[in-house]
Structure 1
Amino acid sequence: MKVTIDQDRCVGAGQCVLAADDVFDQREDDAVVVLLDDNPPTERAEDVRQAALLCPALAITVEE
């Protein structure tokens, strides 16, 4: 699994962090997403997919 983010699209909703806080974080100053792990372990795959689905800005891309 390969995860990429588009920080320019991010609206800072934080749904990704709620779904997978070991893969995503947010910057303190503007709440834009920060990718902590672009190749998360298999056991986190479902949570990462859920984060991408929940993102209101569609700023997360998951490649299997």
Structure 2
Amino acid sequence: MSLLITDECINCDVCEPECPNEAIYMGEEIYEIDKDKCTECVGHYDEPQCVEVCPVDCIPKDPNNEETEDQLMLKYERLMAE
């Protein structure tokens, strides 16, 4: 599943540059994650980098967008081919 940023986000700007897929962007009020680009860093790192650097722990898995490790790897491969 992709990740999502909750309304606890303090807009500290540390997550956006850490995303290897450029899935994080500034929304109307807080940062948001493009579910079509988020691979939870599968293919790049062992752990999601945004979660690792978030000082307020506001980036959980998105329960409305469940994906298996294999699906995340296929998404990674598609993104790298583009």
Same fold (TM over 0.5): yes
Q: What's the TM-score, normalizing by structure 2?
A: 0.53
CA contact (8 A) 2:24 2:31 kept: yes
- Point out where structure 1 has 5 or more consecutive residues left out of the alignment: none
Q: Deviations over 1:17-42 (max 9, x none)?
A: 01016121112x54x11111264273
- Correspondence for 2:22: 22
Superposition deviation, residue 10 in structure 1: 0.4
- Correspondence for 2:53: 54
Q: Which has the higher contact order (CA 8 A, sep 6+)?
A: 1
Greater Cα radius of gyration, structure 1 or 2: 2
Say whether residues 1:42 and 2:47 are aligned partners: no
| Same amino acid, percent of matched pairs | 17
Q: What's the TM-score, normalizing by structure 1?
A: 0.64
Superposition deviation, residue 49 in structure 1: 1.2
Equivalent residues, number: 60
Superposition deviation, residue 62 in structure 1: 4.3
Partners of 2:32 and 2:50 in 1: CA distance: 13
